[in-house]
Amino acid sequence: MRLLVSGGGTGGHIYPALALIERLKQVEPDTEVLYVGTTRGLENKIVPDAGIKLETMHMQGFKRSLSLDNFKTIYLFLHSVHHAKKIIRDFKPDVVLGTGGYVSGAVLYAAAKHHVPTVIHEQNSVVGVTNKFLSRYVDQIAIAFAAARDQFPTDKVTMVGNPRAQQVAAQADSDFSWTSYGLRDDVPTLMIFGGSQGAPKINQAVVDAIPEFSKRDYQVIFATGQKRYDHVKEQLGDTKIGTNVKVVPYIKDMPAKMPRVAALVSRAGATTIAEVTALGVPTILIPSPYVTANHQVKNAQALVKNNAAAMITEDKLDAKSLLLQADRIMENDDLRAKMSAASKKMGRPDAADRLIKVLHQAMDEHR
């Protein structure tokens, strides 16, 4: 298969694509892949580091208010469509997959106009602007949340889940040991992770809760985010931190460590949801309020409704509310077991395989 993938800007658009590519190369080793992204997005580092060929285009999003910049956005879109058509002619893909971000809008639109099979993958429960636009032109639509179904033409939609889930599930038998962090493997571990850059409100709540966490029978590993680590350490000052609590700037290789946590505190991005449901990790979700259409709240509600997670909205987050939920889950083995089972029921450990089937279905429709 010759696969052209486009998606950029954030890890939420990139990591599912990379997980899909990894699985596709396992089942179809002769697959050739070209990734098209933006000149400024995270894909500029992540995609080449994964050994995948990358081409980039200059794009920008529409402003929500009236702005002259929107005329530039239209110009850049039209220019990018022209550029995308050249890429498509040169690469000659069998199918084109879009995973979100403005760049995928130009690429998938160009592919559809060239009568190349097209598929979009929507990771969130609230459909993004680009995928709404593309839904009129593409052949197939793959979704990760049931709530997204009625936001698309229903005859094109297939529930597949997030390919990241299958990638993470494959590492469920991790032999990672917490002793490398100075913690114990025979004590339940709560991981608190606000994203690679950290989340100020989460960090503040944890800093204020650390004196109490230090008294608990469970252990806590808290990742502040690389650029916020020094500030957090400054805030902690002379705070006495128990041996059961570790404060680190970042946690590398999360898929290897998540099978070894009893519960997780995190944002409610699509990739995180895919990972925790693939492994059945009880989670306290703190949705980011700074995302389009408040989609992280909708993502979190899907788990809360199924008793797979708890949710604290950021306006209600403080040390007291965090400790209340953490103690409720970490001090109750039966509750964690029930949450884990409910989470696994929502997981899609074969999501990448399902998406590969949708790609082939789109190709078959053009034969």
pLDDT at 66 over 60: no
Asked whether residue 158 is marked as a ligand-binding residue, the answer is no
- Of 28-37, 116-125, 283-292, 328-337, the poorest mean pLDDT is in 283-292
pLDDT at 161 over 60: yes
Q: For residue 282, what pLDDT is reported? A: 98
Reported as a pLDDT band with limits 50, 70 and 90, residue 63 is: very low
CATH match of 178-346 with 3.30.200.20: no
> Please, what's the b/e burial string for 192-224 (b: 16 or more CB within 10 A of its CB; e: otherwise)?
bbbbeebbeebbebbbbbbeebeebebbbbbbb
pLDDT digits (tens, 9 = 90+) for 299-348: 999 999 999 999 999 999 999 999 999 999 999 999 999 999 999 999 88
pLDDT digits (tens, 9 = 90+) for 212-255: 999 999 999 999 998 899 999 999 999 999 999 999 999 888 88
Residue type, 186: D
What is the number of other CB atoms lying within 10 angstroms of the CB of residue 149? 16
pLDDT at 188 over 90: yes
pLDDT digits (tens, 9 = 90+) for 191-216: 999 877 778 999 999 999 999 999 99
Q: Domain-by-domain residue ranges, the chain?
A: 2-162+349-365, 178-346
Asked whether residue 299 is marked as a ligand-binding residue, the answer is no
pLDDT at 288 over 70: yes
Q: For residue 10, what pLDDT is reported? A: 78
Residue type, 11: G
User: d(Cα 86, Cα 12) in Å, to the nearest integer?
Assistant: 27
pLDDT digits (tens, 9 = 90+) for 12-55: 889 999 999 999 999 999 999 999 998 888 898 999 999 999 99
More confident residue, 276 or 76: 276
Which CATH superfamily, name and number, covers 2-162+349-365?
A: Glycogen Phosphorylase B; (3.40.50.2000)
User: d(Cα 9, Cα 11) in Å, to the nearest integer?
Assistant: 7
Q: For residue 261, what pLDDT is reported? A: 96
Q: For residue 77, what pLDDT is reported? A: 75
pLDDT at 267 over 60: yes
Asked whether residue 12 is marked as a ligand-binding residue, the answer is yes
Q: For residue 73, what pLDDT is reported? A: 62
Reported as a pLDDT band with limits 50, 70 and 90, residue 60 is: low
User: d(Cα 156, Cα 136) in Å, to the nearest integer?
Assistant: 10
Asked whether residue 251 is marked as a ligand-binding residue, the answer is yes
Please tell me if the domain spanning 2-162+349-365 has the same topology as the one spanning 178-346: yes
Asked whether residue 11 is marked as a ligand-binding residue, the answer is yes
Asked whether residue 41 is marked as a ligand-binding residue, the answer is no
- Environment class of 142 (CB within 10 Å of its CB; exposed 0-12, middle 13-18, buried 19+): buried
pLDDT digits (tens, 9 = 90+) for 79-104: 889 899 999 999 999 999 999 988 89
Instruction: State what percent of residues in the chain have pLDDT above 90.
Output: 75
Asked whether residue 154 is marked as a ligand-binding residue, the answer is no
Q: For residue 71, what pLDDT is reported? A: 54
Q: For residue 114, what pLDDT is reported? A: 94
